A = this chain, B = another copy of it.
């Protein structure tokens, strides 16, 4: 599979509106350092699959390459807001998979347009999308949230955001599944003292150390973490990188 980070930011994005911090000011000048809402795309079997749909230009990117399906981690606005526009499009319906969440977001379920919301995925029950096997795993967040473990028969990639820590059963699954690549929520700087729904970078690195995958990426990065990294660049283990928008697995 080809995997690309289409967004690596938190709900505020980088630059954050009206913010004068070093990371936000840098991203205004070097637009390659902007961080759009956390999301990714996978290309396999000649098809394009989306992980989350929070980018505001989602409909435009889908005109360039119509997705075969969309996998939603959870129904917070920063992960689904692009669907508000996309849904009113034309053509074949687009299947949307996600956790069982009776509420969803705003009126998406009631007015789905061309989106074909599937019934909620069962944790640990694999979904086959042609040659891609997707195993949903529960995460710790303020709304029902799933991580996705993707296996194309060659590479095993675990996409794990938004989460604070990992539920024990998810960590157990990952230890036996042995991912080649782990992509993990690392929203807050180490100095952040009250994490509730997202990892600090310290917590993310602890989890990665326990799972010990060949490669790991940090994502869902806040402007506060970007600033901390600018002021005092963290010493990352050799198997860990902070993801950037547009990056692919080949860029490692």
Contacts and interface: CB of A to CB of B under 8 A. Distances in A.
Interface of A: 10-13, 15-20, 56-57, 59, 62-63, 66, 76-78, 81, 84-86, 88-91, 105-107, 114
A43 B57 CA distance: 27
Query: Which 3 residue pairs of A and B lie closest in terms of their CB atoms, listed nearest first?
Result: A17-B89, A12-B88, A56-B56
B57 A89 contact: no
Report whether over half of chain A's contact residues are helix, strand or loop; otherwise say mixed.
loop
B56 A85 contact: yes
Contacts of A90: 16-20
B57 A11 contact: no
Identical chains in the assembly = 2
Contacts of A66: 18
B106 A18 contact: no
A88 B17 contact: yes
B17 A86 contact: yes
Contacts of A88: 10-13, 16-17
A77 B106 contact: yes
A17 B63 contact: yes
B59 A17 contact: yes
Among A15, A17, A78, the most chain B Cβ lie within 10 Å of the Cβ of A17
Nearest to A81: B84
B56 A89 contact: no
B84 A77 contact: yes
19 contacts: A11-B85, A12-B85, A17-B59, A17-B62, A17-B85, A17-B86, A17-B88, A17-B114, A18-B66, A19-B89, A20-B90, A56-B57, A76-B107, A77-B84, A78-B84, A81-B81, A81-B84, A105-B106, A106-B106
Nearest to A60: B17
A156 to B, nearest CB: 33
Nearest to A75: B106
A56 B78 CA distance: 12
A160 to B, nearest CB: 22
A141 B121 CA distance: 35
Nearest to A143: B107
A111 to B, nearest CB: 9
Nearest to A24: B90
